[in-house]
């Protein structure tokens, strides 16, 4: 694993490389990184929604089982 200082140095190198790129390439990289971020956020939201849905379904099944047991 990298130390905080090493990560900072790596980020500075990446930024320096980015700054020397032509504007068109900067725009393309920004669009690509934004798309990757958006996809990651969407995937995270989908997983959370699925987990919440699964939990609700498990709760309903457990409640139904309790009702059947008491009858």
Interval 14-61: pLDDT, tens: 999 999 999 999 999 999 999 999 999 999 999 988 887 777 777 776
On whether residue 52 sits in a domain, the answer given is yes
Please give the pLDDT value at position 52.
79
Residue 31 structure tokens:
């669009």
Please give the pLDDT value at position 15.
94
On whether residue 41 sits in a domain, the answer given is yes
How many domains is the chain partitioned into structurally? 1
- Give the domain range for residue 56: 21-70
Please give the pLDDT value at position 69.
67
Q: Any idea which residue has 């900067």 for tokens?
A: 26
What does the buried/exposed string (b/e) look like for 9-36 if buried means 16 or more CB atoms within 10 Å of the residue's CB?
eeeeeeeeeeeeeeeeeeeeeeeeeeee
pLDDT band at residue 70 under the 50/70/90 scheme: low
pLDDT at 68 over 70: no
On whether residue 44 sits in a domain, the answer given is yes
């Amino acid at each position: 694993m990298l130390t905080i200082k090493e990560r900072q140095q790596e980020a500075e190198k990446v930024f320096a490389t980015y700054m020397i790129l032509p504007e068109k390439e900067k725009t393309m990289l920004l669009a690509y990184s934004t798309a990757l971020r958006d996809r990651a956020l969407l995937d995270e939201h989908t997983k959370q929604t699925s987990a919440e849905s699964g939990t609700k379904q498990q709760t309903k099944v457990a409640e139904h089982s309790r009702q059947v047991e008491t009858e």
